[in-house]
């Protein structure tokens, strides 16, 4: 009889526990979060963690209790399904309604892809094309001293800090929100290991990104990036001019073209044929592989490289070897031009 009584007690306990958990679940899910009197808008950057999202919501007075919100998201299994973008709320809401809005969205998003090596100008052109924000307005924000200070960037512009990736933005997003999202991705990818390595090699952040941008402009294939980096590191250590063609492309107007001797004489702090050391800032927005290459160059004795004509380069140690490699490339170019001329005549 006692055994039966104990068994019944255990069953009753589990029933009570299940009912208590059920009501706890309901209370958390339908927990009222705000007392909105007017429409409120907020922006969730790409790659934001649940903790980051809850901070944004609390800062914008969307939620009162971060713990209940994060617990509700976890209970519903949506930790990794919260969307990025701009959201609008027009009335009071509970955890369930808010989470559903963050997961399924409340407006269509526009896809914007930023390619490795794109300059600030190219990115602003793409933003105007896809979202409609005028290029001049985007560029003005990206160079505003107070905004740069707010983002914690010690540079004169955001060149180099707009991380290449595919983003999703609402059609009503502001240029500030776009930039904050891209800079957030940069900071997310520029890891603690990168910062430690930066100090090991005696570089600061802007120098790393500047060198990475030059590597991005030179190398097409990832396999060559660390080797290209080694050439520039070796030249910097030896006190040689970098003589990097991408820095000349950066200062001439129009799309990339074959460089002329007169281009190498243009007076500019970015002209690495005239000036020693790195230019004053990045010349494009490099991808992760180029940043890695700038920080971790391959150990070589190379001081020169020249294109082969197939996307790859010939690396050499001496100026004599470099001239031979350069001559071979010129022969390849002449042969290519002759073939094109013949095909054009046919």
Average pLDDT over residues 55-68: 83
Closest CA to 336 of 315, 305, 308: 308
Average pLDDT over residues 155-175: 90
Question: What's the pLDDT score for residue 345?
Answer: 46
Average pLDDT over residues 200-205: 96
Average pLDDT over residues 297-308: 95
23: pLDDT strictly greater than 60: no
Average pLDDT over residues 39-51: 80
266 vs 98: CA distance, rounded Å: 57
Q: Check residues 102 and 30 and name the one with the higher pLDDT.
A: 102
Q: How confident is the model at residue 36 (pLDDT cuts 50, 70, 90)?
A: low
- Write the DSSP assignment of 256-270 as a string of letters: -----TTGGG---TT
Strand partners, 103: none
Question: What's the pLDDT score for residue 328?
Answer: 87
Average pLDDT over residues 332-340: 65
16: pLDDT strictly greater than 60: no
Closest CA to 110 of 40, 44, 174, 172: 172
Q: Check residues 155 and 4 and name the one with the higher pLDDT.
A: 155
DSSP-derived secondary structure letter, 60: T
Q: Summarize pLDDT for 256-275 with one digit per residue, the tens.
A: 888 999 999 999 999 999 99
Kindly report which listed range (82-91, 223-232, 236-245, 290-299) carries the lowest average pLDDT score: 82-91
Average pLDDT over residues 136-154: 94
Q: Summarize pLDDT for 77-118 with one digit per residue, the tens.
A: 888 778 777 777 765 567 777 777 787 765 557 889 999 999
Closest CA to 250 of 118, 145, 141: 118
């Amino acid at each position: 009889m006692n055994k039966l009584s104990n068994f019944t007690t255990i069953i009753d306990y589990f029933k009570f526990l299940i009912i208590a958990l059920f009501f706890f679940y309901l209370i958390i899910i339908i927990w009222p979060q705000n007392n909105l009197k007017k429409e409120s808008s907020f922006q969730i950057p790409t790659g934001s963690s649940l903790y980051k999202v809850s901070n944004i919501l609390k800062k914008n007075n969307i939620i009162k209790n971060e713990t209940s919100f994060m617990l509700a998201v976890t209970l519903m299994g949506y930790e990794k399904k919260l969307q990025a973008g701009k959201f609008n709320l027009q009335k009071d809401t509970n955890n369930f309604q808010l989470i559903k809005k963050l997961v399924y969205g409340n407006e269509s998003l526009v896809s914007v892809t930023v390619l490795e090596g794109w300059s600030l100008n190219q990115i602003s052109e793409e933003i105007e094309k896809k979202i409609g924000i005028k290029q001049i307005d985007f560029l003005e924000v990206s160079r505003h001293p107070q905004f740069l200070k707010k983002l914690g960037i010690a540079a004169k512009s955001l060149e180099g800090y707009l991380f290449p990736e595919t983003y999703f933005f609402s059609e009503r997003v502001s240029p500030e929100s776009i930039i904050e999202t891209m800079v957030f991705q940069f900071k997310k990818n520029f890891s603690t290991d990168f910062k430690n390595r930066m100090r090991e090699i005696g570089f600061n952040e802007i120098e790393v990104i500047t060198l990475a941008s030059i590597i991005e402009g030179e190398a097409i294939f990832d396999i060559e990036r660390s080797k290209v980096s080694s050439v520039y590191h070796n030249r910097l250590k030896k006190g040689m001019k970098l003589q990097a063609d991408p820095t000349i492309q950066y200062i001439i107007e129009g799309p990339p073209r074959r460089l002329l001797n007169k281009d190498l004489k243009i007076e500019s702090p970015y002209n690495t044929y005239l000036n020693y050391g790195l230019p004053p800032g990045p010349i494009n927005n490099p991808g992760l592989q180029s940043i890695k290459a700038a920080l971790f160059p391959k150990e070589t004795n190379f001081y020169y490289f020249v294109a082969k004509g197939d996307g790859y380069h010939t690396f050499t140690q001496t100026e004599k070897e470099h001239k031979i490699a350069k001559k071979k490339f010129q022969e390849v170019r002449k042969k290519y031009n002759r073939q094109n001329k013949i095909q054009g005549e046919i």
